[in-house]
């Protein structure tokens, strides 16, 4: 499993992802799920969840379309973020179809989801969730985040804290807390945690962190959150019969 999320605020985008992949509990590996494409006049980040062979096939195809000048369509030529999502969606469906029959015979799903975010010069910054079926949705101003993979454990804190006006640093802290909550409750999501901050109109990543469980800045946030939660819990009102 996997847990990735992107948060779009008025001032930019935060991307966060775990790095655990597994094929059964006895086959666990570490792979980055955050792919950054810095191109002339545009920046894209792609987060991936699902069958690792499919995600690698998709990212490989995206990379080759950029390298081969005869490609009709690539991240370098799409005109809008939504077109980029459509392009990734199409590649995703093709990659799944290629090995679908033998995979299905073994009861294995080839499905993948992606979050694509970024900005094309002259356009607005945006994030899109691309489903295994190739279609996609954007975030909204009232729900400024998108998630893929193991999304439930880390959702409550996003629902409580995030708005379109949240600062990028607060959004980044919220993403780290959301990932930490997920990793504590589900062993299929694991470190290192990758975090990227994109400030709108910059067309490049402002900050990129890869945090191990024992990275001092990640430990500081986890410890402070644990203490703060315990404090919040200890301060809950007593029941009437407790006097």
Stretch that binds a second copy, among 16-24, 96-104, 132-140, 235-243 (CB under 8 A): 235-243
Nearer Cβ to a second copy, position 19 or 186?
186
Residues 6+ apart with CB under 8 A from 57: 95, 98
DSSP assignment of 29-52 equals: EE---EEEEEETTEEEEEEEEE-H
Confirm or reject binding of residue 105 to a second copy (CB under 8 A): no
Count of residues that interact with a second copy, criterion CB under 8 A = 42
Among 88, 173, 175, 198, interactor with a second copy by CB under 8 A: 173
Q: How far is the CB of 182 from a second copy (least distance, A)?
A: 8
Confirm or reject binding of residue 14 to a second copy (CB under 8 A): no
Residues 6+ apart with CB under 8 A from 177: 154, 157, 221, 225
Confirm or reject binding of residue 82 to a second copy (CB under 8 A): no
Q: Which of residues 212-231 bind a second copy (CB under 8 A)?
A: 217, 220-221, 224-231
Confirm or reject binding of residue 1 to a second copy (CB under 8 A): no
Instruction: Work out the burial of residue 218: count CB atoms within 10 Å of its CB; fewer than 13 is exposed, 13-18 middle, 19 or more buried.
Output: buried
Confirm or reject binding of residue 3 to a second copy (CB under 8 A): no
Instruction: Work out the burial of residue 104: count CB atoms within 10 Å of its CB; fewer than 13 is exposed, 13-18 middle, 19 or more buried.
Output: exposed
Q: How far is the CB of 236 from a second copy (least distance, A)?
A: 5
Confirm or reject binding of residue 243 to a second copy (CB under 8 A): no
Confirm or reject binding of residue 137 to a second copy (CB under 8 A): no
Among 39, 161, 164, 205, interactor with a second copy by CB under 8 A: 161
Residue 9 bridge partners (DSSP): 12
Confirm or reject binding of residue 106 to a second copy (CB under 8 A): no
Q: How far is the CB of 152 from a second copy (least distance, A)?
A: 4
Choose among 19, 38, 31: nearest CA to 211: 19
Among 97, 109, 165, 207, interactor with a second copy by CB under 8 A: 207
Confirm or reject binding of residue 41 to a second copy (CB under 8 A): no
Among 97, 185, 202, 213, interactor with a second copy by CB under 8 A: 185
- Dump strand ranges (E) for the chain: 3-9, 12-17, 20-22, 28-30, 34-39, 42-50, 112-120, 126-130, 136-138, 145-149, 193-199, 205-211
Query: How many residues belong to the chain?
Result: 243
């Amino acid at each position: 499993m996997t847990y990735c999320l992107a948060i779009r605020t008025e001032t930019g985008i935060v991307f966060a992802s775990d790095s655990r992949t597994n094929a059964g509990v006895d086959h666990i590996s570490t792979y980055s799920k955050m792919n950054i494409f810095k191109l002339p006049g545009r920046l894209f980040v792609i987060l991936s969840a699902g069958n690792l062979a499919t995600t690698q096939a998709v990212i490989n195809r995206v990379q080759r379309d950029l390298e081969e000048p005869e490609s009709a369509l690539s991240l370098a030529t799409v005109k809008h973020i939504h077109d980029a999502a459509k392009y990734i969606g199409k590649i995703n469906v093709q990659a799944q179809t290629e090995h679908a029959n033998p995979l299905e015979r073994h009861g294995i799903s080839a499905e993948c989801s992606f979050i694509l975010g970024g900005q094309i010069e002259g356009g607005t910054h945006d994030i899109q969730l691309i489903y295994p079926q190739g279609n996609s949705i954007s975030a909204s101003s009232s729900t400024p985040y998108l998630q893929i993979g193991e999304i439930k454990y880390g959702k409550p804190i996003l629902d409580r804290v995030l708005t379109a006006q949240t600062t990028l640093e607060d959004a980044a802290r919220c993403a780290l807390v959301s990932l930490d909550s997920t990793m504590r409750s589900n062993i299929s999501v694991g470190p290192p945690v990758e975090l990227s901050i994109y400030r709108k109109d910059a067309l490049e990543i402002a900050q990129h962190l890869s945090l191990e469980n024992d990275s001092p800045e990640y430990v500081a946030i986890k410890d402070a959150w644990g203490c703060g939660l315990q404090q919040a819990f200890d301060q809950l009102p007593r029941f009437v019969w407790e006097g």
